[in-house]
Amino acid sequence: MDELNVGNYGAVIICPYNKAHVIPAARIQRHLFKCRRQYPNAKIDICCFNRAHHVPRQELQDHQKSCPDRALIEVYKYTLDEDTSNTDNSPQTEEQLEQAAAAQRLREEDENWDDMDAPRYNPAEYCMTHPVIRKATHMTPSEKREFRTNERIRIDALNKSMAKNSLSSKANIK
């Protein structure tokens, strides 16, 4: 697919099904899904590394060899361990070794969100300590009236304390 950069419009991609279709890059997947249904007999295949890559059949093998998203999949195909020797599933050629090393670097740079030491988010606690407007639901009219009164008092107190804090921080800066 041809990607162009149009001034004041951003990146656009020419549809492989109909060259008259020039689509913003952010909407290309939605367009390709619809266009594929419009042209069921088109000799265009989808790349196995990225579903947004619709390529003519005769160019598919070349595309898969040079697909920029291939490295994302190759990360999991080869692993390099320093203590293991050359085994059956380890890469054999220099090109495969370079790809495996790049994949290993990518894997090491990944973020791990499972080991975070951040406290859990408690929405009720957050709402009580920040000026968040809450809605009274499933209450009788008198309970709603009381809730709104208490909310006004709570938000006024929070706004006053925030104003005090901002004034004191400005005084500390000067």
pLDDT of residue 35: 92
Percent of the chain with pLDDT over 70: 79
Within 8 A by CB and 6+ apart from 17, the residues are 32, 35, 36, 38, 39, 42, 44, 54
Say what the pLDDT of residue 90 is. 53
DSSP bridge partners of 54: 46
> Once rounded to an integer, what is the mean pLDDT over residues 52-79?
85
CA-based nearest residue to 12, from 1, 21, 24, 20: 24
pLDDT of residue 97: 73
Instruction: Name the residue with higher pLDDT: 117 or 44.
Output: 44
Q: What is the pLDDT of residue 156?
A: 95
Instruction: Give the strand pairing for 22-24 and 10-14.
Output: antiparallel
pLDDT tens-place string over residues 100-152: 777 776 666 556 666 667 778 899 899 999 999 999 999 999 999 999 999 99
Tell me, what's the pLDDT at 2? 72
SS3 content of the chain, % helix, strand, coil (to 5): 50, 10, 40
Q: What is the Cα–Cα distance from 46 to 63, expressed in whole angstroms?
A: 10
Cα separation, 20 vs 40, in Å, equals 18
